[in-house]
Amino acid sequence: MSYYEIRGGRPLDGRLTVQGAKNSVLPILAAALLAPGQSVLHNCPQLSDVAATLDILRLLGCRVDREGDTVLVDASALCRVNIPERLMREMRSSVIFLGALLARLGTAELTYPGGCELGPRPIDLHLSALRSLGAEIQDIQGCLCCRQRKKPAGRELCLSMPSVGATENAMLAACGCSGITTLVGAAREPEIVDLQRFLNAMGADVAGAGESIITIRGGRPLHPAEFSVMGDRIAAATYLCGTAAAGGQIELAGVEPETLTAVLSCLEEAGCTLQTGESRIALTCQAPLKGIAPVRTAPYPGFPTDAQAILMAALAGGEGTTMFVENIFDSRYGHVDELRRMGADIQIAGRVAVVTGAGRLHGAAVRGGDLRGGAALVVAGLGAEGVTRVSGLRHICRGYQCLDRDLAQLGADIQEIPEG
Ligand code: EPZ
Protein backbone atom coordinates (compact mmCIF):
# COMPACT_ATOMS: atom_id res chain seq x y z
CA MET A 1 0.00 0.00 0.00
CA SER A 2 1.12 3.59 -0.52
CA TYR A 3 1.37 6.38 2.03
CA TYR A 4 0.98 10.16 2.17
CA GLU A 5 4.16 12.20 2.50
CA ILE A 6 3.42 15.63 3.98
CA ARG A 7 5.86 18.51 4.41
CA GLY A 8 4.19 20.49 7.16
CA GLY A 9 4.16 24.14 8.14
CA ARG A 10 2.83 25.56 4.87
CA PRO A 11 -0.26 27.75 5.39
CA LEU A 12 -3.26 26.64 3.34
CA ASP A 13 -4.89 28.99 0.91
CA GLY A 14 -7.63 28.56 -1.66
CA ARG A 15 -11.14 27.37 -2.40
CA LEU A 16 -12.52 23.85 -2.53
CA THR A 17 -15.89 22.26 -3.29
CA VAL A 18 -16.57 19.55 -0.73
CA GLN A 19 -17.41 15.99 -1.87
CA GLY A 20 -20.86 14.43 -1.46
CA ALA A 21 -21.59 12.98 1.98
CA LYS A 22 -20.55 9.37 2.53
CA ASN A 23 -23.01 8.96 5.39
CA SER A 24 -25.87 10.25 3.28
CA VAL A 25 -25.20 8.42 0.02
CA LEU A 26 -24.92 4.99 1.68
CA PRO A 27 -28.51 4.85 3.04
CA ILE A 28 -29.80 6.59 -0.11
CA LEU A 29 -28.27 3.86 -2.28
CA ALA A 30 -30.08 1.28 -0.14
CA ALA A 31 -33.31 3.29 -0.50
CA ALA A 32 -32.99 3.07 -4.30
CA LEU A 33 -33.98 -0.60 -3.89
CA LEU A 34 -37.47 0.42 -2.81
CA ALA A 35 -38.78 0.95 -6.36
CA PRO A 36 -38.24 -0.73 -9.73
CA GLY A 37 -36.72 1.55 -12.35
CA GLN A 38 -33.63 3.74 -12.54
CA SER A 39 -32.76 6.33 -9.91
CA VAL A 40 -30.13 8.95 -10.77
CA LEU A 41 -27.94 10.11 -7.87
CA HIS A 42 -25.67 13.15 -8.34
CA ASN A 43 -22.74 14.21 -6.12
CA CYS A 44 -21.94 10.59 -5.22
CA PRO A 45 -18.36 10.57 -3.91
CA GLN A 46 -15.92 7.99 -5.30
CA LEU A 47 -15.08 6.15 -2.06
CA SER A 48 -14.33 2.53 -1.29
CA ASP A 49 -17.40 2.36 0.98
CA VAL A 50 -19.55 3.57 -1.93
CA ALA A 51 -17.90 1.07 -4.29
CA ALA A 52 -18.65 -1.73 -1.79
CA THR A 53 -22.29 -0.60 -1.62
CA LEU A 54 -22.55 -0.58 -5.42
CA ASP A 55 -21.13 -4.12 -5.42
CA ILE A 56 -23.90 -5.19 -3.03
CA LEU A 57 -26.54 -3.61 -5.26
CA ARG A 58 -25.15 -5.45 -8.29
CA LEU A 59 -25.00 -8.71 -6.35
CA LEU A 60 -28.67 -8.29 -5.41
CA GLY A 61 -29.52 -7.99 -9.11
CA CYS A 62 -29.56 -4.26 -9.72
CA ARG A 63 -27.98 -2.60 -12.74
CA VAL A 64 -25.48 0.02 -11.55
CA ASP A 65 -23.53 2.51 -13.66
CA ARG A 66 -21.36 5.45 -12.72
CA GLU A 67 -20.75 8.55 -14.87
CA GLY A 68 -18.31 10.69 -12.91
CA ASP A 69 -20.03 11.79 -9.71
CA THR A 70 -23.40 10.50 -10.92
CA VAL A 71 -24.52 6.97 -10.09
CA LEU A 72 -27.41 5.26 -11.90
CA VAL A 73 -29.18 2.46 -10.01
CA ASP A 74 -31.87 0.39 -11.75
CA ALA A 75 -33.56 -1.87 -9.18
CA SER A 76 -36.05 -3.40 -11.62
CA ALA A 77 -34.32 -6.77 -11.67
CA LEU A 78 -33.74 -7.03 -7.93
CA CYS A 79 -33.78 -10.78 -7.39
CA ARG A 80 -31.52 -11.72 -4.48
CA VAL A 81 -31.94 -11.00 -0.79
CA ASN A 82 -28.76 -12.32 0.74
CA ILE A 83 -25.59 -10.30 1.32
CA PRO A 84 -22.49 -12.48 1.74
CA GLU A 85 -20.32 -12.20 4.84
CA ARG A 86 -17.28 -10.86 2.97
CA LEU A 87 -19.27 -7.80 1.88
CA MET A 88 -20.86 -7.39 5.31
CA ARG A 89 -17.42 -7.37 6.92
CA GLU A 90 -16.07 -4.98 4.30
CA MET A 91 -18.85 -2.48 4.96
CA ARG A 92 -20.43 -2.54 8.38
CA SER A 93 -23.10 -0.04 7.43
CA SER A 94 -24.48 -2.54 4.88
CA VAL A 95 -26.90 -3.52 7.66
CA ILE A 96 -28.92 -0.62 6.21
CA PHE A 97 -30.01 -2.93 3.38
CA LEU A 98 -32.18 -4.88 5.84
CA GLY A 99 -34.98 -2.33 5.96
CA ALA A 100 -34.96 -1.72 2.21
CA LEU A 101 -35.07 -5.44 1.30
CA LEU A 102 -37.88 -6.11 3.79
CA ALA A 103 -39.89 -3.21 2.36
CA ARG A 104 -39.39 -4.22 -1.28
CA LEU A 105 -39.31 -8.04 -1.17
CA GLY A 106 -40.36 -8.93 2.38
CA THR A 107 -37.25 -10.99 3.07
CA ALA A 108 -33.52 -10.51 3.68
CA GLU A 109 -30.50 -12.54 4.76
CA LEU A 110 -27.24 -11.07 5.99
CA THR A 111 -24.60 -11.71 8.58
CA TYR A 112 -23.81 -9.52 11.56
CA PRO A 113 -21.67 -6.59 10.48
CA GLY A 114 -19.04 -7.43 13.11
CA GLY A 115 -16.99 -5.11 15.30
CA CYS A 116 -14.57 -2.56 13.94
CA GLU A 117 -11.74 -0.30 14.99
CA LEU A 118 -14.19 1.88 16.93
CA GLY A 119 -15.31 -0.94 19.15
CA PRO A 120 -18.31 -3.30 18.93
CA ARG A 121 -20.93 -2.33 16.39
CA PRO A 122 -24.10 -3.95 17.80
CA ILE A 123 -27.30 -3.84 15.75
CA ASP A 124 -29.79 -4.66 18.51
CA LEU A 125 -31.62 -1.36 17.99
CA HIS A 126 -31.95 -2.09 14.25
CA LEU A 127 -33.36 -5.56 14.93
CA SER A 128 -35.79 -4.47 17.64
CA ALA A 129 -37.12 -1.66 15.42
CA LEU A 130 -37.61 -4.04 12.47
CA ARG A 131 -39.28 -6.65 14.69
CA SER A 132 -41.64 -3.92 15.94
CA LEU A 133 -42.57 -3.36 12.29
CA GLY A 134 -43.50 -6.99 11.79
CA ALA A 135 -40.26 -8.66 10.78
CA GLU A 136 -39.48 -12.17 12.02
CA ILE A 137 -35.71 -12.32 12.46
CA GLN A 138 -33.86 -15.54 13.25
CA ASP A 139 -30.18 -15.74 14.03
CA ILE A 140 -29.03 -18.98 12.38
CA GLN A 141 -25.33 -19.45 13.12
CA GLY A 142 -24.58 -15.77 12.73
CA CYS A 143 -26.77 -15.31 9.68
CA LEU A 144 -29.82 -13.09 10.17
CA CYS A 145 -32.78 -14.61 8.31
CA CYS A 146 -35.50 -11.98 8.14
CA ARG A 147 -39.03 -12.30 6.86
CA GLN A 148 -41.67 -9.58 6.88
CA ARG A 149 -45.17 -10.67 7.91
CA LYS A 150 -47.85 -10.34 5.26
CA LYS A 151 -49.29 -6.82 4.97
CA PRO A 152 -47.20 -5.27 7.76
CA ALA A 153 -48.85 -2.31 9.42
CA GLY A 154 -47.16 0.83 10.63
CA ARG A 155 -47.10 1.68 14.35
CA GLU A 156 -45.37 3.84 16.91
CA LEU A 157 -41.94 2.63 17.93
CA CYS A 158 -39.35 4.09 20.25
CA LEU A 159 -35.58 3.96 19.86
CA SER A 160 -33.87 3.66 23.25
CA MET A 161 -30.98 5.72 21.88
CA PRO A 162 -30.80 7.92 18.77
CA SER A 163 -28.92 5.46 16.56
CA VAL A 164 -28.33 6.90 13.09
CA GLY A 165 -28.39 3.54 11.32
CA ALA A 166 -31.34 2.16 13.24
CA THR A 167 -33.34 5.32 12.46
CA GLU A 168 -32.53 4.95 8.75
CA ASN A 169 -33.32 1.22 8.74
CA ALA A 170 -36.69 1.83 10.41
CA MET A 171 -37.54 4.62 7.92
CA LEU A 172 -36.85 2.29 5.00
CA ALA A 173 -38.80 -0.65 6.48
CA ALA A 174 -41.73 1.65 7.37
CA CYS A 175 -42.08 2.62 3.71
CA GLY A 176 -43.25 -0.97 3.16
CA CYS A 177 -45.76 -0.89 6.03
CA SER A 178 -49.33 0.28 5.44
CA GLY A 179 -50.49 3.22 7.51
CA ILE A 180 -48.49 5.51 9.75
CA THR A 181 -45.24 4.64 11.51
CA THR A 182 -44.02 7.06 14.15
CA LEU A 183 -40.36 6.85 15.12
CA VAL A 184 -39.87 8.32 18.60
CA GLY A 185 -36.33 9.04 19.79
CA ALA A 186 -35.02 9.17 16.22
CA ALA A 187 -31.50 10.39 15.44
CA ARG A 188 -31.46 13.98 14.08
CA GLU A 189 -28.37 13.93 11.85
CA PRO A 190 -28.51 15.97 8.60
CA GLU A 191 -27.90 12.77 6.63
CA ILE A 192 -31.27 11.53 7.86
CA VAL A 193 -32.91 14.69 6.54
CA ASP A 194 -31.22 13.97 3.19
CA LEU A 195 -32.64 10.42 3.24
CA GLN A 196 -36.11 11.85 3.90
CA ARG A 197 -35.69 14.19 0.93
CA PHE A 198 -34.78 11.28 -1.34
CA LEU A 199 -37.60 9.05 -0.09
CA ASN A 200 -40.13 11.83 -0.66
CA ALA A 201 -38.69 12.38 -4.15
CA MET A 202 -39.53 8.69 -4.72
CA GLY A 203 -43.13 9.36 -3.73
CA ALA A 204 -42.91 8.42 -0.06
CA ASP A 205 -44.50 10.55 2.63
CA VAL A 206 -41.89 11.05 5.37
CA ALA A 207 -41.89 14.03 7.72
CA GLY A 208 -40.00 15.20 10.78
CA ALA A 209 -36.45 14.14 9.94
CA GLY A 210 -34.00 16.39 11.78
CA GLU A 211 -36.18 16.20 14.86
CA SER A 212 -36.58 13.27 17.24
CA ILE A 213 -40.04 12.24 15.97
CA ILE A 214 -40.30 11.08 12.37
CA THR A 215 -43.56 9.93 10.76
CA ILE A 216 -43.75 7.70 7.68
CA ARG A 217 -47.03 7.16 5.85
CA GLY A 218 -46.14 3.85 4.27
CA GLY A 219 -47.61 1.48 1.70
CA ARG A 220 -47.51 4.09 -1.08
CA PRO A 221 -46.33 3.09 -4.57
CA LEU A 222 -42.79 4.42 -5.01
CA HIS A 223 -40.94 5.36 -8.16
CA PRO A 224 -37.27 6.07 -8.98
CA ALA A 225 -36.00 9.61 -8.48
CA GLU A 226 -33.22 11.95 -9.56
CA PHE A 227 -31.44 13.46 -6.56
CA SER A 228 -28.32 15.32 -5.49
CA VAL A 229 -26.59 14.17 -2.30
CA MET A 230 -25.74 16.76 0.37
CA GLY A 231 -22.16 17.90 1.00
CA ASP A 232 -20.01 15.94 3.44
CA ARG A 233 -19.88 17.89 6.71
CA ILE A 234 -17.12 15.71 8.19
CA ALA A 235 -14.93 16.08 5.12
CA ALA A 236 -15.54 19.84 5.45
CA ALA A 237 -14.51 19.68 9.12
CA THR A 238 -11.33 17.92 8.04
CA TYR A 239 -10.25 20.72 5.70
CA LEU A 240 -11.18 23.36 8.26
CA CYS A 241 -9.17 21.65 11.01
CA GLY A 242 -6.29 21.15 8.58
CA THR A 243 -6.23 24.91 7.96
CA ALA A 244 -6.52 25.57 11.69
CA ALA A 245 -3.48 23.32 12.22
CA ALA A 246 -1.34 24.76 9.41
CA GLY A 247 -2.64 28.34 9.42
CA GLY A 248 -3.93 30.19 6.36
CA GLN A 249 -7.33 30.87 4.91
CA ILE A 250 -9.67 28.70 2.85
CA GLU A 251 -13.20 28.82 1.53
CA LEU A 252 -15.32 25.68 1.22
CA ALA A 253 -18.31 25.39 -1.12
CA GLY A 254 -21.00 22.73 -1.38
CA VAL A 255 -21.59 22.27 2.35
CA GLU A 256 -24.22 23.84 4.60
CA PRO A 257 -22.62 25.58 7.63
CA GLU A 258 -25.59 24.71 9.86
CA THR A 259 -24.73 20.99 9.50
CA LEU A 260 -21.49 21.44 11.46
CA THR A 261 -22.28 24.28 13.87
CA ALA A 262 -20.72 22.48 16.84
CA VAL A 263 -17.40 22.12 15.03
CA LEU A 264 -17.40 25.72 13.79
CA SER A 265 -17.97 27.08 17.30
CA CYS A 266 -15.03 25.05 18.65
CA LEU A 267 -12.76 26.39 15.89
CA GLU A 268 -13.91 29.95 16.58
CA GLU A 269 -13.25 29.50 20.32
CA ALA A 270 -9.77 28.19 19.47
CA GLY A 271 -9.01 31.46 17.66
CA CYS A 272 -10.10 30.95 14.05
CA THR A 273 -12.15 33.53 12.17
CA LEU A 274 -15.16 32.10 10.37
CA GLN A 275 -17.51 33.53 7.77
CA THR A 276 -20.48 31.49 6.57
CA GLY A 277 -23.11 31.85 3.87
CA GLU A 278 -25.37 29.63 1.79
CA SER A 279 -23.42 26.45 1.03
CA ARG A 280 -20.13 28.10 1.96
CA ILE A 281 -17.74 28.35 4.90
CA ALA A 282 -14.61 30.53 5.03
CA LEU A 283 -11.97 30.07 7.75
CA THR A 284 -8.89 32.12 8.57
CA CYS A 285 -6.30 31.09 11.17
CA GLN A 286 -3.22 33.20 11.79
CA ALA A 287 -2.13 32.22 15.31
CA PRO A 288 -1.55 28.98 17.21
CA LEU A 289 -4.83 27.43 18.38
CA LYS A 290 -5.83 28.01 22.00
CA GLY A 291 -7.26 25.47 24.39
CA ILE A 292 -11.09 25.42 24.49
CA ALA A 293 -13.91 24.30 26.76
CA PRO A 294 -14.43 20.53 27.07
CA VAL A 295 -15.48 18.81 23.82
CA ARG A 296 -18.09 16.15 24.51
CA THR A 297 -19.20 14.06 21.52
CA ALA A 298 -22.95 13.62 21.34
CA PRO A 299 -25.75 12.79 18.91
CA TYR A 300 -26.59 15.63 16.52
CA PRO A 301 -26.75 18.58 17.01
CA GLY A 302 -24.03 17.90 19.58
CA PHE A 303 -20.36 17.69 18.65
CA PRO A 304 -20.01 14.87 16.06
CA THR A 305 -17.94 11.88 17.13
CA ASP A 306 -16.56 11.72 13.57
CA ALA A 307 -14.83 15.09 14.07
CA GLN A 308 -13.30 14.24 17.47
CA ALA A 309 -9.97 12.91 16.20
CA ILE A 310 -9.71 15.62 13.57
CA LEU A 311 -10.18 18.52 16.01
CA MET A 312 -7.90 16.84 18.56
CA ALA A 313 -5.11 16.64 15.99
CA ALA A 314 -5.39 20.35 15.29
CA LEU A 315 -5.46 21.33 18.97
CA ALA A 316 -2.53 19.04 19.83
CA GLY A 317 -0.25 21.34 17.83
CA GLY A 318 -1.61 24.50 19.41
CA GLU A 319 -1.23 26.04 22.87
CA GLY A 320 -3.43 25.49 25.93
CA THR A 321 -5.33 22.49 27.21
CA THR A 322 -8.57 20.88 26.03
CA MET A 323 -10.50 17.93 27.45
CA PHE A 324 -12.34 15.56 25.12
CA VAL A 325 -15.03 13.09 26.18
CA GLU A 326 -15.93 10.41 23.59
CA ASN A 327 -19.47 9.41 24.48
CA ILE A 328 -20.55 7.60 21.31
CA PHE A 329 -18.05 4.83 20.60
CA ASP A 330 -16.18 2.66 23.08
CA SER A 331 -12.73 2.93 21.56
CA ARG A 332 -12.24 5.92 19.36
CA TYR A 333 -8.83 7.10 20.57
CA GLY A 334 -6.77 4.86 18.27
CA HIS A 335 -5.14 7.95 16.78
CA VAL A 336 -3.70 9.15 20.14
CA ASP A 337 -0.65 6.87 20.19
CA GLU A 338 0.20 7.98 16.65
CA LEU A 339 -0.20 11.65 17.55
CA ARG A 340 2.14 11.05 20.50
CA ARG A 341 4.79 9.89 18.00
CA MET A 342 4.57 13.43 16.60
CA GLY A 343 5.16 14.96 20.03
CA ALA A 344 1.56 15.40 21.14
CA ASP A 345 0.88 15.51 24.88
CA ILE A 346 -2.39 13.59 25.34
CA GLN A 347 -3.46 11.76 28.49
CA ILE A 348 -6.31 9.23 28.34
CA ALA A 349 -8.50 7.93 31.17
CA GLY A 350 -11.43 5.86 29.86
CA ARG A 351 -13.64 8.07 27.69
CA VAL A 352 -11.66 11.21 28.63
CA ALA A 353 -8.63 12.51 26.73
CA VAL A 354 -6.79 15.64 27.89
CA VAL A 355 -4.81 17.37 25.14
CA THR A 356 -2.10 19.83 26.19
CA GLY A 357 -1.01 21.85 23.21
CA ALA A 358 2.74 21.31 23.01
CA GLY A 359 3.34 23.94 20.40
CA ARG A 360 4.06 22.70 16.89
CA LEU A 361 4.29 18.94 16.52
CA HIS A 362 7.16 17.31 14.62
CA GLY A 363 6.87 15.01 11.62
CA ALA A 364 6.99 11.22 12.04
CA ALA A 365 6.00 7.97 10.34
CA VAL A 366 2.48 7.22 11.58
CA ARG A 367 -0.31 4.80 10.65
CA GLY A 368 -4.05 5.43 10.49
CA GLY A 369 -6.05 2.61 12.06
CA ASP A 370 -9.52 3.88 11.15
CA LEU A 371 -11.09 6.36 8.77
CA ARG A 372 -11.21 9.53 10.87
CA GLY A 373 -8.11 8.64 12.88
CA GLY A 374 -6.16 8.44 9.64
CA ALA A 375 -7.53 11.81 8.52
CA ALA A 376 -6.52 13.25 11.90
CA LEU A 377 -2.90 12.22 11.29
CA VAL A 378 -2.97 14.09 7.98
CA VAL A 379 -4.34 17.17 9.79
CA ALA A 380 -1.50 16.90 12.33
CA GLY A 381 1.07 16.51 9.54
CA LEU A 382 -0.09 19.71 7.85
CA GLY A 383 0.86 21.74 10.93
CA ALA A 384 3.90 19.71 12.00
CA GLU A 385 7.54 20.72 11.57
CA GLY A 386 9.20 18.53 8.94
CA VAL A 387 7.98 15.45 7.07
CA THR A 388 5.13 13.20 8.16
CA ARG A 389 4.39 9.89 6.48
CA VAL A 390 0.85 8.62 6.96
CA SER A 391 0.15 4.98 6.06
CA GLY A 392 -3.14 3.07 6.41
CA LEU A 393 -4.62 4.85 3.40
CA ARG A 394 -7.16 2.06 2.85
CA HIS A 395 -9.01 3.44 5.86
CA ILE A 396 -8.84 7.04 4.63
CA CYS A 397 -10.06 6.06 1.15
CA ARG A 398 -13.26 4.74 2.72
CA GLY A 399 -14.41 8.30 3.40
CA TYR A 400 -12.32 10.76 1.38
CA GLN A 401 -12.52 10.90 -2.40
CA CYS A 402 -9.02 12.31 -2.83
CA LEU A 403 -7.74 13.87 0.40
CA ASP A 404 -4.23 14.50 -0.93
CA ARG A 405 -5.40 16.13 -4.16
CA ASP A 406 -7.88 18.32 -2.32
CA LEU A 407 -5.28 19.47 0.21
CA ALA A 408 -2.69 20.05 -2.52
CA GLN A 409 -5.29 22.24 -4.25
CA LEU A 410 -5.31 24.28 -1.03
CA GLY A 411 -1.54 24.66 -1.11
CA ALA A 412 -0.44 21.76 1.08
CA ASP A 413 2.77 19.89 0.25
CA ILE A 414 1.30 16.38 0.22
CA GLN A 415 1.69 13.51 -2.19
CA GLU A 416 0.86 9.83 -2.33
CA ILE A 417 4.02 7.68 -2.47
CA PRO A 418 3.85 4.02 -3.45
CA GLU A 419 5.13 1.81 -0.60
CA GLY A 420 8.54 0.20 -1.13
C1 EPZ B 1 -23.25 6.35 11.75
O2 EPZ B 1 -22.84 5.08 12.21
C3 EPZ B 1 -22.10 6.84 10.88
N4 EPZ B 1 -21.91 5.93 9.76
C5 EPZ B 1 -20.82 6.92 11.70
O6 EPZ B 1 -19.81 7.48 10.86
C7 EPZ B 1 -21.05 7.87 12.88
O8 EPZ B 1 -19.90 7.90 13.68
C9 EPZ B 1 -22.25 7.38 13.70
O10 EPZ B 1 -23.41 7.26 12.85
C11 EPZ B 1 -22.59 8.32 14.84
O12 EPZ B 1 -22.87 9.59 14.34
C13 EPZ B 1 -22.76 5.99 8.71
O14 EPZ B 1 -23.69 6.77 8.69
C15 EPZ B 1 -22.48 5.04 7.58
P16 EPZ B 1 -25.05 4.74 15.52
P17 EPZ B 1 -23.92 4.12 12.98
O18 EPZ B 1 -25.97 3.61 15.23
O19 EPZ B 1 -25.25 4.27 12.35
C20 EPZ B 1 -24.50 2.10 19.41
C21 EPZ B 1 -17.69 7.63 9.88
O22 EPZ B 1 -16.56 7.83 10.36
N23 EPZ B 1 -25.50 1.22 18.80
O24 EPZ B 1 -25.61 6.12 15.66
O25 EPZ B 1 -23.33 2.77 13.07
C26 EPZ B 1 -23.18 2.06 18.65
O27 EPZ B 1 -22.37 0.99 19.08
C28 EPZ B 1 -18.64 6.68 10.58
O29 EPZ B 1 -18.13 8.17 8.85
C30 EPZ B 1 -26.03 0.18 19.56
O31 EPZ B 1 -25.66 -0.02 20.71
O32 EPZ B 1 -23.91 4.80 14.41
C33 EPZ B 1 -22.57 3.40 18.98
O34 EPZ B 1 -21.93 3.30 20.24
C35 EPZ B 1 -18.01 6.06 11.81
N36 EPZ B 1 -26.96 -0.65 18.99
C37 EPZ B 1 -23.79 4.32 19.11
O38 EPZ B 1 -24.92 3.45 19.27
C39 EPZ B 1 -27.39 -0.47 17.70
O40 EPZ B 1 -28.26 -1.24 17.24
C41 EPZ B 1 -24.05 5.20 17.89
O42 EPZ B 1 -24.17 4.34 16.80
C43 EPZ B 1 -26.83 0.58 16.94
C44 EPZ B 1 -25.90 1.42 17.52
User: Considering only CA atoms, which of 334, 289, 283 is closest in space to residue 308?
Assistant: 334
Q: Tell me, yes or no, if 116 is annotated catalytic.
A: yes
Residue 115 has what pLDDT? 64
Distance 65 CA to ligand 1 centre (A): 28
Q: Are 205 and 370 in contact (CB under 8 A)?
A: no
Distance 163 CA to ligand 1 centre (A): 6
Enumerate the β-bridge partners of residue 415: 5
Residue 248 has what pLDDT? 98
Residue 91 has what pLDDT? 82
Q: Give the whole-angstrom CA distance, residue 151 versus residue 342.
A: 59
Distance 329 CA to ligand 1 centre (A): 8
Residue 233 has what pLDDT? 98
126 CB within 6 A, ligand 1: yes
Q: What is the position in ligand 1's atom list of the atom closest to the CA of 299?
A: 12
Q: Are 216 and 157 in contact (CB under 8 A)?
A: no
H/E element, 213:
strand 213-218
Please name the residue whose Cα sits nearest to atom 6 of ligand 1.
Answer: 306
Does the predicted TM-score (pTM) go above 0.95?
yes
Mean pLDDT in order along the chain per 10 residues (420 residues): 95 98 98 98 97 96 98 97 88 91 96 80 95 95 92 95 98 97 98 98 98 96 98 98 98 98 98 98 97 98 98 97 97 97 98 95 98 98 98 96 98 93
Q: Which of 44, 62, 79, 116 is catalytic?
A: 116
303 CB within 6 A, ligand 1: no
Please name the residue whose Cα sits nearest to atom 27 of ligand 1.
Answer: 121
281 CB within 6 A, ligand 1: no
User: Considering only CA atoms, which of 40, 117, 155, 30 is closest in space to residue 309?
Assistant: 117
328 CB within 6 A, ligand 1: yes
258 CB within 6 A, ligand 1: no
H/E element, 417:
strand 413-417
